[in-house]
Every structure is written in structure tokens, then in C-alpha cells.
Amino acid sequence: MIQDKIVAHYQDGRLLKGVTTNFVPNKDFFHFIPMDSPPGSKLLELRTTGLKGLFFVKEFSGNPNYNEKKEFDSQKLSVGRKIRVVFKDGEEMIGTTDGSTQDCPGFFVVPADINSNNECCFVVTSATQQVSLI
């Protein structure tokens, strides 16, 4: 069973780090195991209500000194539509999306910066201030 490392960012500023095996964009909950839980811990049920985004990460710690690039590498082919997302808290994300948002409260974005710690992010539409194609 594949476990995705995630960081759940809530609109109120809370962060939860852990793993999930069953996040589905059109469901309002998913199961989660906090990263510091002992082996054999019970799954928690997290609701998507109040989420800003669900960040699928390479490492939980990331690199706090790294400034993610907000532009595409002209030498690399981009797949999907280029997009700029500005969250209500002012955070900006530049990346690509496949744009499939039918029956979903959000959409996936793959960061433009290939060195980002984020593999992708499920952006909750209600947490955004502006979404635009670039």
C-alpha cells in the first residue's frame, strides 16, 4: 500500500504532517496517520472542510532556507496548463494543472520549481483569492 507524505495546511494556519493512502479529491474526508504516531496507530479521519491545501511532499522537514522559484525552466517541457494561484493568506503558487475540477472542491497543482519539496498540491478553491492562467 502506497503511503503519501502530506502536509495539511488549514485556512486558520494549522499544519498537520503525516501520511494518507486514500485521499480522493471529490470526497469530503480522508484517512490520516500523524507522522509522529507509533506503529500500529489507528487511522484518523480528516475532513477537507477548512483546508487551504493538501501538500504532497518529498520530505516532512523540507528545506526552510530554500526559496521556491516562481517561474518555469525554459529548458524543461511543462505538462498541463500553467497557472498562478494566490491564496487568501497571500501565499502564491506557480505551477501546472490538468484543470479537471468537475465535482471537486479543488484542483491539483504541480509546482513549476522542480526542486520544490512539494510533489503537488491539492488546492482548495474556497481558500484562494485569485486563480489565473499564465
What does the pLDDT read at residue 39?
85
**Which pLDDT score is estimated for 91?**
95
pTM: 0.91
Give the domain extent around 18: 4-133
| Grid cell in block for residue 124 | 482548495
pLDDT, averaged per 10 consecutive residues of the chain (134 residues), comes to 90 95 91 91 91 96 89 83 96 89 83 94 95 92
Which candidate, 57, 40, 59, places its Cα nearest to that of 118? 57
Structure confidence at residue 100 (pLDDT) = 64
The total domain count for the chain is 1
Cα torsion for 15, 16, 21, 26, to the nearest 10°?
Answer: -40
Please tell me the distance from the alpha carbon of residue 53 to that of residue 129, in angstroms, as a whole number: 13
For residue 125, give the C-alpha cell.
478553491
How high is the pLDDT of residue 101?
61
Residue 53: other Cβ atoms inside 10 A? 24
pLDDT at 81: 93
